Amino acid sequence: MFMQHRVLRKGLSARAMTGSVDRAFHALSIRTAASGNDWRLGDTGSALVLCQAMPVGDDACYVMCVAVSEQQSGVAVIDTVKDKLSKTVAID
């Protein structure tokens, strides 16, 4: 079993980032397997991807992303997810 994780700090609310995770999963063809208020569990077919937004304040959060796979190549998806989420910005 292989696992990789990434953590981002974003200047957006946890709720906004959870919406961004939904959009990132859709854009990357990751199927949402389970979800809660501030977390999403996705399935790529070769890996499970968990993203959880943890509020730091009203307008900031940490986003933890973890990928788990039986194959080492399967966890590489985490960098793609992180890159997609790191480009998320607030639109007024």
CATH topology of domain 2-86: TATA-Binding Protein (3.30.310)
Pick 89 or 29 by higher pLDDT.
Answer: 29
12-26 tens-digit pLDDT: 999 999 999 999 999
pTM value is 0.90
List, for residues 27-54, the tens digit of each pLDDT value: 999 999 999 999 999 999 999 999 999 9
Q: How confident is the model at residue 9 (pLDDT cuts 50, 70, 90)?
A: very high
CA-CA-CA-CA torsion for 38, 7, 9, 29, nearest 10 degrees?
Answer: -60
Q: In the β-sheet with 2-10, what is the strand arrangement from edge to edge?
A: 2-10, 60-69, 48-57, 39-43, 31-35
Q: Which residue has the tokens 């389970």?
A: 34
